[in-house]
Amino acid sequence: MHELGITQNIVAIVTEHANGMKVQKVVLEIGKLSAIMPDAIKFCFDICSKGTVLEDSILEIIEIPGLAKCSQCGAEIALDKPFGVCSCGSVQLDLITGEELKIKEIEIEEICV
């Protein structure tokens, strides 16, 4: 399960950017064509965040749909797999979206003095 390693990296990156402050929420963008299972990331996140500034934080995952552009006719095609066929018959598709894995947002607890 490569999601464990990915989640460990996400936790490390967010921890570094939090500078020791408590993280309330992390928002990820994961493309539907990325071969990354959002449910597995959620499961691993709870485990990987234990004992860190991310412990008990909310993980929100936004799934980005697959979209490609046909090299022949220029049409844009929605994809649920990393391949497909355009209505013109071409299989030469350039992926536009769907392979993302991005930390979109980190919400850090405000400290009142």
Sequence ranges of the binding site for Ni(2+): 2
| CB distance 32 to 73 below 8 Å | no
How many CB atoms neighbour CB 72 within 10 A? 12
Binding-site residues, in ranges, read 2, 70, 73, 86, 88
Binding-site residues for Zn(2+), in ranges, read 70, 73, 86, 88
Strands 66-70 and 76-79: antiparallel
Strands 101-108 and 76-79: unpaired
Least Cα distance to 50 among 102, 15, 16 occurs for 15
